[in-house]
Amino acid sequence: MRRLFSSPKKASEGWHGPKEKSYKFGGLRRTKTSKIVEDIQHTLTASYWDNLPVELQISIFVECGIHDFLPLKLVCRGFNEVLTVHELAIAQKYLRRRRHGTLPSTTNNERTYTMNPEDDVVLLSDLFPPAKSAKGGYLYTFRYLHTLRRRQDLCARLSYYLANRVMDNFCGSHQSLVKSKFPSKSERDLMFERGTSQLQFKLIPLTYCVAYFLETYASARKEHLNHLLREYEAGRLPVPIPLRVRRDMYIQLQTNILRSPPFNDTATLIATHHCMYLLIMSLLHTLPIPHGHSERVDPRWIGGLLTVSGFGRIVEYFSAEIGDGAQTRTQRKDFMTNFERDMDLNAREEMHPCVYVSPPSGQPHHSSVQEVWLDPAGRELSSRNVIPHDSERFTIWDEIPILIGCGMCRDADGWMAF
């Protein structure tokens, strides 16, 4: 029977007749006469990789993606040794390549950022620099690169959800205009997709600043609570802090953040304020419309979502609300489970009877929507004499203007998102 995928053997390929049948073992060949001869091709004792200079090996790894580093460690001992010993050099060179030759530094007024996609990592890594080492310097690790990539992905997803909601509201409120400019459904769908992509592209850098504010504010709240606990243990906190004073403390924490980089730049503060306003209004518009006083929905949970759950949970909420997945019902159930766990953990941390006066309702206190960014940012903008100011003007297909702003913006030609 003919064997599949077989090919005629030639003498030049090492074929032997029945009397000269041999059995190969690596680089040796044993014949029936028990005579051992060396094969013509010798087996190399080291790979070409081992002979490369370390600098060249590092340059090769820099060309890889962030998610490739861990799998590459499992390839062989040589890869694992280079990636482990030279992790700092690889991470630094990886960032330098994507930051046009620089490394992350504290944001200041002298540095300018563009809206170009290749400059996204510059702003993101400046906002979230690596942790400082106890021995001096900074900890450039693969873990740090992963956190940057994770934040970048979350901001891109949130920008998409916000842009999608803006385009949905625009098409819903201007149906006659949209149908007159785009008669066929395929044209309207294409306009919707391109408009969403263009808005997402413009919103991504602004969501970096939003993520920075929310993470910095959450860290400041925890640090402030730990400070109050130390004051209580030292006997310097005679009475619990009432709710009104607690609100003022939170407002002051936000004000301190808004007066430090990158928000000490007024243009950055205004642009971030517009993006934050868009985020909050998008969250409010997801609430069900009440049909009576008994069905009124308390929006205070949005304050808890912004201040307690974190940026990633906000993205998870929009994903579940829009139905960005195969099982929307499961997504919403998972979000509610995670959100309730966040609230319970926060209640155990902040419901300290010796530090804070318990709210009249007996429930954990969550900041209102106005108390998170809107009121502190409004006061800061007023102190800088930039009220009124211009809105963010974006154009989509066929030069259709869409404005993203707030209630303190000047009147302009275009459609205001909210």
Domain boundaries, the chain: 49-144, 154-416
Question: What is the CA 145 to chain-centroid distance, rounded?
Answer: 12
Give the SS3 label for residue 132. strand
Asked whether the predicted pLDDT for residue 201 surpasses 70, the reply is: yes
The pLDDT assigned to 307 comes to 92
b/e 187-196 (16+ beta carbons within 10 angstroms → b): ebeebbeebb
Asked whether the predicted pLDDT for residue 391 surpasses 60, the reply is: yes
Asked whether the predicted pLDDT for residue 347 surpasses 70, the reply is: yes
The pLDDT assigned to 387 comes to 95
List, in sequence order, the alpha helices (H) in 108-184: 120-127, 142-173, 175-181
**CB-CB contact of 203 with 166 (8 Å):** no
Q: What distance in Å separates the CA atoms of residue 386 and residue 378, rounded to the nearest whole number?
A: 10
Q: pTM of the full predicted structure?
A: 0.83
Tokens found for residue 330: 């499961």
Tokens found for residue 191: 């306009």
Percent of the chain with pLDDT over 70: 82
pLDDT category, 195, cuts 50, 70, 90?
very high
Asked whether the predicted pLDDT for residue 323 surpasses 80, the reply is: no
**CB-CB contact of 265 with 258 (8 Å):** no
For the ranges 147-161, 235-249, 273-287, which has the lowest average pLDDT? 235-249
Asked whether the predicted pLDDT for residue 166 surpasses 60, the reply is: yes
Q: What distance in Å separates the CA atoms of residue 418 and residue 416, rounded to the nearest whole number?
A: 6
Q: What distance in Å separates the CA atoms of residue 308 and residue 299, rounded to the nearest whole number?
A: 15
Asked whether the predicted pLDDT for residue 269 surpasses 90, the reply is: yes
At 3-25, the pLDDT tens digits run 333 344 444 444 444 444 444 43
In this structure, are strands 415-416 and 400-404 parallel, antiparallel, or unpaired? parallel
Q: What distance in Å separates the CA atoms of residue 115 and residue 400, rounded to the nearest whole number?
A: 20
Question: What is the CA 417 to chain-centroid distance, rounded?
Answer: 24
Instruction: Kindly report the number of other CB atoms within 10 A of residue 161's CB atom.
Output: 22
